[in-house]
Amino acid sequence: MADKVSDFLLKRLSEWGIRRIFGYPGDGILGIMGALERHPDLFQFVQVRHEEMAAFMASGHAKFTGELGVCMATSGPGAIHLLNGLYDAKMDHQPVLAIVGQSARSALGGNYQQEVDLMNLFKDVAGEYVHTCTDAVQMRQLVDRACRIALAERTVTCIIMPKDVQDLDAVEKPPHKHNTVHTSAGYFYPYTIPSKEDLQRAADILNEGKKVAILIGAGAMDAGPEVTKVANLLGCGVAKALLGKAALPDDLPFVTGGLGLLGTTPSWNMMMNCDTLLMVGSSFPYSEFLPKEGQARGIQIDIDPRMVGIRYPMELNLIGDSVQTLRALIPLLHWKQDRSWREKIESDIRDWWKTVEARAKESADPINPEFVTWELSPRLPDKAILSADSGTTANWYGRTIKMRQGMKGSVSGSLASLGAAVPYAIAAKFAYPDRVPIALTGDGAFQMNGLNEMITVKKYWKEWSDPRLVFIVFNNQDLNQVTWEMRIEAGDPKLPMTQSIPDMPYAAYAESLGLRGIRVEKPEDVGRAIDEALSANCPTVIDVYTDPDVPTLPPHITFEEAKNYSTALLHMDPDEGGIIKESIKSLVEGILPGLGEKDK
Q: What is the pLDDT of residue 139?
A: 98
Same domain, 388 and 471: yes
Same domain, 418 and 534: yes
Does residue 174 belong to any structural domain of this protein? no
pLDDT band at 599 (very low <50, low <70, confident <90, very high): very low
Helix (H, G, I), strand (E, B), or coil: what is residue 545? strand
Q: What is the pLDDT of residue 595?
A: 41
From the number of C-beta atoms within 10 Å of its C-beta (0-12, 13-18, 19+), residue 326 rates as buried
Same domain, 151 and 201: no
How far is residue 226's CA from residue 224's CA, in Å, rounded to a whole number? 5
Same domain, 442 and 553: yes
Does residue 176 belong to any structural domain of this protein? no
User: Is 582's pLDDT higher than 70?
Assistant: no
Same domain, 34 and 111: yes
User: pLDDT digit string (tens) for 513-528?
Assistant: 999 999 999 999 999 9
Across the range 389-412, mean pLDDT stands at 97
Sort strands 156-162 and 212-216 into parallel, antiparallel or unpaired: unpaired
Q: What is the pLDDT of residue 506?
A: 98
CATH of the domain at 215: 3.40.50.1220
From the number of C-beta atoms within 10 Å of its C-beta (0-12, 13-18, 19+), residue 437 rates as buried
Does residue 308 belong to any structural domain of this protein? yes
pLDDT band at 574 (very low <50, low <70, confident <90, very high): confident
Same domain, 240 and 303: yes
Does residue 217 belong to any structural domain of this protein? yes
Does residue 180 belong to any structural domain of this protein? no
Of 120, 149, 167, which one is at a domain's C-terminal end? 167
User: pLDDT digit string (tens) for 112-145?
Assistant: 989 999 999 999 999 999 999 999 999 999 999 9
Same domain, 279 and 367: no
Does residue 186 belong to any structural domain of this protein? no
Task: Please list, in sequence order, all residues whose beta carbon lies within 8 angstroms of the beta carbon of residue 331, skipping any fewer than 6 positions away.
Answer: none
Same domain, 371 and 335: no
Task: Give the number of other Cβ atoms within 10 Å of residue 456's Cβ.
Answer: 20
In which region does residue 309 sit, left (phi positive, over 0), alpha (psi from -120 to 50) or beta (all else)? left
pLDDT band at 337 (very low <50, low <70, confident <90, very high): very high
Q: What is the pLDDT of residue 264?
A: 94
User: pLDDT digit string (tens) for 310-332?
Assistant: 999 999 999 999 999 999 999 99
Does residue 251 belong to any structural domain of this protein? yes
Same domain, 301 and 277: yes
Task: Please list, in sequence order, all residues whose beta carbon lies within 8 angstroms of the beta carbon of residue 305, skipping any fewer than 6 positions away.
Answer: 317, 319
User: Is 273's pLDDT higher than 90?
Assistant: yes
Question: How many domains does the chain fold into?
Answer: 3
What domain range is 233 assigned to? 196-348
User: Is 584's pLDDT higher than 50?
Assistant: no
Q: What's the mean per-residue pLDDT of the chain?
A: 93
Q: What is the pLDDT of residue 580?
A: 54
Same domain, 160 and 200: no
One-letter amino acid identity for 381?
P
User: Is 588's pLDDT higher than 90?
Assistant: no
With b for 16 or more beta-carbon neighbours within 10 A and e for fewer, the 206-217 pattern comes to bbebebbbbbbb
CATH of the domain at 73: 3.40.50.970
pLDDT band at 598 (very low <50, low <70, confident <90, very high): very low
One-letter amino acid identity for 57?
M
Sign of the alpha-carbon torsion through 527, 529, 530, 532 = positive
**Lowest-confidence range among 123-127, 169-173, 189-193, 559-563?**
559-563
User: pLDDT digit string (tens) for 214-255?
Assistant: 999 999 999 999 999 999 999 999 999 999 999 999 999 999
